[in-house]
Amino acid sequence: MEENIEIIVKEIEGKINNIDNLKDLNDLKLEYMGKSGIITKMQSGIKDASNKKEYGMKVNTVRNTFNDLYNGKLNELNEIEINKKLESERIDVTMPSKKVKKGTKHPINLTIEKIEDLFVSMGYDVVSGPELETDEYCFERLNLPKGHPARDMQDSFYITENELLRTQTSSVQARYMMAQEEKKPIRIIVPGKTYRREDDATHAPQFGQIEGLVIDKKENNVSLADLKGTLEVFAHTMLGSDLDLRFRPSYFPFTEPSYEVDVTCFKCKGKGCNLCKQTGWIEVFAAGIVHPNVLRMNGYDPDIWGGFAFGPGWDRICMFRYGIPDIRLMYQNDIRFLKEFDRRDQ
Spatial separation of the C-alpha atoms in residues 265 and 323, rounded to whole Å: 12
CA distance 222 to 234: 18
203 and 195 Cβ atoms separated by less than 8 Å:
no
Q: How far apart are CA 209 and CA 189, in angstroms?
A: 10
Say whether pLDDT at 149 is over 80: no
Q: What is the pLDDT of residue 93?
A: 73
* Residue 155 scores a pLDDT above 70: no
Give the residue-averaged pLDDT of 44-52. 77
343: pLDDT confidence band, cut at 50, 70 and 90? low
User: 132: pLDDT confidence band, cut at 50, 70 and 90?
Assistant: very high
Eight-class DSSP state of 303: T
Q: How confident is the model at residue 13 (pLDDT cuts 50, 70, 90)?
A: confident
Q: Give mean pLDDT, residues 240-248.
A: 87
> Which amino acid is it at 197?
R
Q: Check pLDDT > 60 for residue 30.
A: yes
Residue 176: what pLDDT?
A: 94
- What number is the average pLDDT over the span 28-52? 80
CB contact burial 60-83 (16+ within 10 A = b; e otherwise): eebbebbeebbeebbeebeeeeee
Q: What's the rounded mean pLDDT across residues 15-22?
A: 85
pLDDT of residue 3: 53
What was the pLDDT predicted at 291?
94
Number of neighbours of residue 319 by Cβ within 10 angstroms = 21
Query: What is the per-residue pLDDT for 199?
Result: 62
pLDDT in the model for residue 232:
92
The CA-atom distances, in angstroms, between 166 and each of 106, 169, 188, 288 are 23, 7, 18, 20
> What is the pLDDT of the chain when averaged over all its residues?
85
Considering the chain, what percentage of its residues have pLDDT values greater than 90? 30
pLDDT of 66 reads 85
3-state secondary structure of 168: coil
**For 64-73, 152-161, 194-203, 306-315, which range has the lowest pLDDT when averaged over its residues?**
194-203
> Is the pLDDT score of 200 beyond 70?
no
